[in-house]
């Protein structure tokens, strides 16, 4: 019970430590720019109902060019699509979709990958052998081929996309965690914990994992960017979330046929997704720079 309820001063110092860690970002302009872009999209996603000028799924004025006015008031700043939905509003709501699914899928890939990596790196022996071989097999697939055959089999839906990304992403996380676990597992404080008679799960979760967090945070940022691309690609290929809800990749897929005549329908969602991925990648690059400096 006591473990679950930290006393007040402990919580205070944890908050302060977190603040200090975020303040570290100031040391790298690259990380600051990345964090700024990501924060921008997070705000857009959170405030979507307040800032979107139109209903994202309502149809108004098909093929409206950017800047065209709406008879009932308001302007289609980025134009409208083939069935007259406002593109700016759909991009704003689409930020929600991607910022829900990308972190969710990345997180679940991390949970599975961390469990597998800790087990492989700490237990070693046949556990390591089996998990590593399994990971090698999954990693030998060109990743989009794996997504396509999994989604073609189980069908396209939000849950299935998260499952597919988890299965395809976990082996990569496992490799990193396994390597870190092998390295940290040979340190004295782990040996001390073992002599104290701590359980294996305790050593893995409390002694090893917190000491592996640095490289994992950098990798998580890169992976978030990559998962964002993946969700966009699946939408673009027609294997994404079912319509009509706004999702950047699907917007591009739906407008593909008329994109040569009305490029605004595809260009703006592409700018949105590219900037978000760039934000994650810059953040990862900056964080790596900061961690190398210490």
Interacting residues toward another protein by CB under 8 A: 133, 136-137, 140-145, 148-153, 225, 229, 232-233, 236-239, 249, 252, 256, 259-261, 263, 266-267, 270-271, 273-274, 277-278, 280-282, 285
Say which residues have a Cβ less than 8 Å from residue 25's Cβ, sequence separation at least 6: 31, 32, 35, 286, 287, 290
Beta carbon nearer to another protein, 16 or 65: 65
Beta carbon nearer to another protein, 63 or 141: 141
- Residue 260 CB, nearest distance to another protein (Å)? 5
Is the backbone peptide bond immediately before 244 cis, with ω within 30 degrees of 0? yes
Beta carbon nearer to another protein, 149 or 192: 149
Backbone φ and ψ of 68, nearest 5°: -65, 145
158-185 and 143-154 helices, crossing angle to 10°: 140
Beta carbon nearer to another protein, 8 or 126: 126
DSSP single-letter state for residue 75: E
**CA proximity to 67, closest of 50, 53, 56, 55:** 53
Beta carbon nearer to another protein, 13 or 291: 291
- Residue 76 CB, nearest distance to another protein (Å)? 18
- Residue 277 CB, nearest distance to another protein (Å)? 4
Handedness of CA 122, 125, 127, 133 (dihedral sign): positive
- Residue 263 CB, nearest distance to another protein (Å)? 4
For residues 89 and 52, give the distance between their C-alpha atoms in angstroms, rounded to a whole number.
5
- Residue 6 CB, nearest distance to another protein (Å)? 39
């Amino acid at each position: 019970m006591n473990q679950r309820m930290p006393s007040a001063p402990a919580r205070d110092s944890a908050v302060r430590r977190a603040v200090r860690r975020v303040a570290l970002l100031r040391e790298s302009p690259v990380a600051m720019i990345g964090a700024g872009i990501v924060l921008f999209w997070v705000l857009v996603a959170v405030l979507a109902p307040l800032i979107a000028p139109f209903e994202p799924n309502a149809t108004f004025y098909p093929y409206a060019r950017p800047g065209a006015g709406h008879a009932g008031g308001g302007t289609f700043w980025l134009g409208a699509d083939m069935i007259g939905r406002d593109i700016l509003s759909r991009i704003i709501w689409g930020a929600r979709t991607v910022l829900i699914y990308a972190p969710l899928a990345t997180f679940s890939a991390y949970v599975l990958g961390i469990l597998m990596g800790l087990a492989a790196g700490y237990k070693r022996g046949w556990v390591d052998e089996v998990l590593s071989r399994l990971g090698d097999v999954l990693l030998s697939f060109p990743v989009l081929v794996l997504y396509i055959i999994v989604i073609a089999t189980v069908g396209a839906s939000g849950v299935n996309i998260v499952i597919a990304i988890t299965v395809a992403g976990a082996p990569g996380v496992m490799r990193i965690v396994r390597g870190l676990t092998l390295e940290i597992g040979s340190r004295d404080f782990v040996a001390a914990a073992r002599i104290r008679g701590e359980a294996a799960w305790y050593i893995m979760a409390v002694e090893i994992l917190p000491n592996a967090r640095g490289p994992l945070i950098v990798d998580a940022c890169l992976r978030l960017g990559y998962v964002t691309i993946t969700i966009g690609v699946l939408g673009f290929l027609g294997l994404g979330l079912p319509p009509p809800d706004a999702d950047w990749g699907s917007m591009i897929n739906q407008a593909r046929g008329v994109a040569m005549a009305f490029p605004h329908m595809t260009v703006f969602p592409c700018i949105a997704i590219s900037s978000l991925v760039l934000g994650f990648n810059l953040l990862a690059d900056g964080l790596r720079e900061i961690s190398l400096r210490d």
